[in-house]
Structure 1
Amino acid sequence: MKPGGQETPPGVRGSALADTVEGYLLARTHLDQAHREAESLCSRLPWLTTAQAEEVTRHYIRQRIDLTRRMLVSTTERADQLRKEYEARYAALRRDLLRRHAACACAVVAAAGAVSTVACLLAR
């Protein structure tokens, strides 16, 4: 339960679980791809001993995973930045729309009052 006695809705829990599983699968895919690339690199270097090939593979995988991590971090930072920009723009557009609707409503009320006043004066 959350503080305040509220329980997390089942859909939110499922979504968080799905996000975690998706993240794990994405990381696993990148790791497997790095292994394949390292093995391909070592196969093109036939003069390496087994120990050297393992060392090259380990270094390549570490660099590849670090690069992937940096790319994902920069992508998420940019996504957060864009989300904030879009939210700010959306809020500004909502405020402008509310002002315009309020101005139109005031104009309609004023026009209705003017028509009512003219009608009352003409009826006398």
Structure 2
Amino acid sequence: MTDGHLHGPVPGVAPGIAAEAEGFLLAREHQQDAHREAQALCDALPWLTTAQAEELTRHYVAHRLRLSRQMFEATLRRADELGREYEARYLRLRRDLLRRQGVWASCLLVCTAVASGALCTVAR
């Protein structure tokens, strides 16, 4: 039974669950691909016994999944490095832009003050 209160989804939980489900499905797809490749390899070696084919499949799938994991981890590391590099570059560009805007604003203020002073002098 319910207590009469309806609760919506907890913020931040749904995207996390979706990402986890996507990761699970991606891992499952890689595992199925590895099994298909291992089966194709075993089919190309008709002299293997059933036990040998199963052993070869097991080793192949384990090796392929290990390589996929290493590739994904390397990709994640590189993406993280690029993110940090881009963030640092953005901060440098932003700081330079703000500094230039400050210089231009100061120049504009000085020019306005000089022009105002000149107009006051001419008006007297």
Report the TM-score, using the length of structure 1 for normalisation. Answer: 0.90
The equivalent residue for 1:108 is 108
Hey, what's the Cα distance between the residues in 2 that align with 1:20 and 1:77? 19
The equivalent residue for 2:53 is 53
TM-superposition CA deviations, 1:41-64 (whole Å, max 9, x none): 001111111111000000000000
Hey, what's the Cα distance between the residues in 2 that align with 1:101 and 1:53? 70
Unpaired runs of at least 5, structure 1 = 1-7
What letter corresponds to residue 95 of structure 1 in structure 2? R
Hey, what's the Cα distance between the residues in 1 that align with 2:111 and 2:13? 53
Give the secondary-structure state (helix, strand or coil) at the position aligned to 2:46.
Answer: coil
What letter corresponds to residue 59 of structure 1 in structure 2? H
Paired-residue identity, %: 51
The equivalent residue for 1:97 is 97
Matches within 5 A, 1:15-26: 15-26=15-26
Matches within 5 A, 1:75-94: 75-94=75-94
TM-superposition CA deviations, 1:7-45 (whole Å, max 9, x none): x962x2222112111111110110000000000000111
CA RMSD, 1 decimal: 1.3
Hey, what's the Cα distance between the residues in 2 that align with 1:14 and 1:114? 60
Hey, what's the Cα distance between the residues in 2 that align with 1:56 and 1:71? 22
How many corresponding residue pairs?
A: 116
Hey, what's the Cα distance between the residues in 2 that align with 1:104 and 1:15? 44
The equivalent residue for 1:73 is 73
What letter corresponds to residue 115 of structure 1 in structure 2? A
What letter corresponds to residue 35 of structure 1 in structure 2? H
Unpaired runs of at least 5, structure 2 = 1-8
What letter corresponds to residue 102 of structure 1 in structure 2? G
Q: Give 1:121 deviation, angstroms.
A: 0.6
* Runs of 4+ with deviation above 4 angstroms: none
